[in-house]
Structure 1
Amino acid sequence: MADQARRARLAASLDEVRERIARACAAAGRDPGEVALVAVTKTYPASDVVLLAGLGVTDVGENKDQEAAAKAAAVAEAGVSVRWHFVGQLQRNKARSVARYADMVESVDSLRLASALDAAAQKHRETPLDVLIQVSIDGDPARGGAVDSAEDADRDLWRLADTVAAAGGLRLRGLMAVAPKEWDPDRAFELLAGLAARLRDSHPGATVLSAGMSGDLEQAVRHGATHVRIGTSLLGMRNPLR
């Protein structure tokens, strides 16, 4: 009964989120099929991932390796297949673990991390690991992210893009960003869209733009997001794993 009740709540929330995406696409003159929903299930159990998969969710995001690795194993053991997105800040010493289960890492923000992931992917994967470069909208190093024309070569967006594109174990797919809390989301995502257009000029295959969360998905869709990362609006406020 508990699983049935949880499934019903998730189904209702999913319908609401999908309707928000559809309305945002209509307002922007876009096809809703152009925008993928990534369900961010951090702190929620593997059983929720299984339920969401049964409701048609194909992409799932996690931000901590220890939790994500165990959850990915549990979901696979349940016979369910989803695409795992690693969306949190990633330490280089976790690259080997993440490369084993992630289908896409959305938070690559330095040459050193890209090198570690490339080595891990070449050793532990049969296919290249999809990568998004996380962009720092405001340049604050505490939040992570590569920077447009950074003085620090390790975090320079364009140097990093070329490095990922040339890596044998990685595949450059596009950009990801989080709008800073003190910024107007429209301003943040307009800036991001400009960087994405510049990236596609030199790397035409980098067409993914992951932007927008529960509070600002409409603004992200308006500025070309192809993926929105939704947690609270989908999973609600419930007891976390820890």
Structure 2
Amino acid sequence: MPQTYRRLDLSIDQQHALLTAARQLAEEFAGTFGTETIELFLHSSYDQLALHGKIPNYLPLLAERFARQRLNALARVEGHSDGRPVVLFLCVHNAGRSQMAMGFFQHLAADSAVAWSGGSGFASEINPAAVASMAERGIDISREYPKPWTEEIVRAADVVVTMGCGDACPIYPGKRYLNWDLDDPEGKSVEDVRPIRDEIERRVRRLLDELEVPTA
């Protein structure tokens, strides 16, 4: 079992939660990554999310989820791929456009493909109007959380879709990039977000067709 190193900046409860998370991840990635790698990814994920986290008690759980995504990405980069296409949706805050795109992609593709998202300057919470507009379509993104992108996540993606992050978006030679010119839903009402949502759905469906991914 991993023995997560002591973090003096964390409460006892937070340290315990991270230790539990490290043990869980160690079980999931046994034979793929060692303790040192898992703890490094878990604690660096915590530190990145803590930059904007509003509710410290939730950060260990979110750090575990983010670390799991990053470790899955690293495994793909190192050749442990299951063959499913991976699409990464990037915007500025990872609170609206990229979250809605990921929501549609996951809903339509189910287990046939993988979708991730990130932001160049990620926000502290998901845009409530984006959550509400997606709920109207029967898709729940309320449990998602804004997060940055990392090198292994970008490298593992087959397609990177950018939405307004401009020069801040990471560029890797040989990777397929798509730029979707979409209005930013920040500060908009649910009524104003609906046209953005609908355009995102159209583009996601088109992308899935291009990737020959069966949809639900």
Q: TM-score, normalised by structure 2?
A: 0.29
Could you say which structure has the higher strand fraction? Answer: 1
Normalising by structure 1, what TM-score? 0.27
